[in-house]
Amino acid sequence: MNSTISYIGRFAPSPSGPLHFGSLVCAVGSYLDALAHGGHWLVRMEDLDPPREEPGAATRILKSLEAHGLHWHGPIQWQSKRYALYEDTLSTLRQQGLLYPCDCSRSQIKKNGGHANDFCRLKSEVSEPSALRLECAGGEERFVDIWHGEQRQQIREDTILKRRDGFYAYQLAVVVDDIDQRINQVVRGSDLLETTGVQQRLFKILGATAPQFGHLPLVMGPDDKQKLSKQNHAPAIDDRTPAENLCEALHFLGFKLPSSAAAESPEAILKWATAHWRRHQVDRRNRQLH
């Protein structure tokens, strides 16, 4: 990575389905914020949860990004190839006495003020399989979100870093990778705003500076209660109409585009949008497309 680049951002899709319009909005927003600040925009494939992945989705996502002119810097990072790094971090936390195996249910954890019960924490042998929890509950984390301003989030429970089924948890991998890739700006969907406090806590525990976070508006599904997602049957983005899709995504983000824009190439549209990107013009409200 070029050491003179001061902004390093990323787009980190989970391959649980193809890119849909909501994820295109996130990709475009994070791309533009990075490029407009002279930064690098990396792509990290968060293929960490095989039971929830759809075969072929990762390749389709990458093809869609390319079809839309969203070209990334450097090699793609695949989380499925980074288990050794996650295991090293778990060993460090274990040596610090901050990690414990736990087979408590969520309601037991809640009843016990965010920690596992003493039985689980102090027993020397755990019934397998169990999750690994980080001792981190208590107090709050404060940060300033680019679009949502000052945030104060209570850390209510010891977060799981390795799941009962043996897979590494999102919270562990996302923070370890952001540190390892020297990500200093995270622009992503606002469904992840409420999980940011826990991530801030983990950055601190690992002795790293957290990136600046900015959470973009969500495209809501037809019932207006849930974001567009594979679960509510959001259609895959049509790679044959990239210019129209980009114009729609930019419009959603608050851009007023010249009427001729849809006739341009994706690269030309993104170049124009990079030059016109202003953080304060982003409409941060979650809403339906029309």
Q: Which stretch binds ligand GLU (CB under 6 A): 8-16, 104-112, 208-216, 248-256?
A: 8-16
Contact residue for ligand GLU among 12, 102, 228, 234 (CB under 6 A): 12
46 binds ligand GLU (CB under 6 A): yes
CA distance 216 to 148: 9
Site track for ligand GLU across 182-201, x = CB under 6 A: ------x---x---------
Encode burial over 109-132: b for 16+ CB neighbours within 10 A, e otherwise. beebebbbeeebbeeeeeeeebbb
248 binds ligand GLU (CB under 6 A): no
Binding residues for ligand GLU, how many (CB under 6 A)?
Answer: 7
98 binds ligand GLU (CB under 6 A): no
CB 227 within 8 A of CB 190: no
Which CB atom, from 44 or from 115, has the smaller least distance to ligand GLU? 44
174 binds ligand GLU (CB under 6 A): yes
Which CB atom, from 12 or from 43, has the smaller least distance to ligand GLU? 12
Which CB atom, from 12 or from 237, has the smaller least distance to ligand GLU? 12
Which CB atom, from 185 or from 245, has the smaller least distance to ligand GLU? 185
Which CB atom, from 192 or from 289, has the smaller least distance to ligand GLU? 192
72 HSE (CA, 13 A, CB side): 23
158 binds ligand GLU (CB under 6 A): no
The alpha carbon dihedral of 73, 75, 76, 78 has a sign of negative
47 binds ligand GLU (CB under 6 A): no
13 binds ligand GLU (CB under 6 A): yes
Cis peptide before 266 (omega within 30 of 0): no
Q: Which stretch binds ligand GLU (CB under 6 A): 10-18, 89-97, 120-128, 269-277?
A: 10-18
The alpha carbon dihedral of 31, 46, 193, 202 has a sign of negative
Which CB atom, from 10 or from 162, has the smaller least distance to ligand GLU? 10
Which CB atom, from 11 or from 252, has the smaller least distance to ligand GLU? 11
Task: Give least dist CB 16 to ligand GLU, A.
Answer: 8
- Phi first, then psi: what are they for 8, rounded to 5°? -125, 110
The alpha carbon dihedral of 238, 54, 179, 146 has a sign of positive
Which residues form the interface with ligand GLU (CB under 6 A)? 12-14, 46, 174, 188, 192
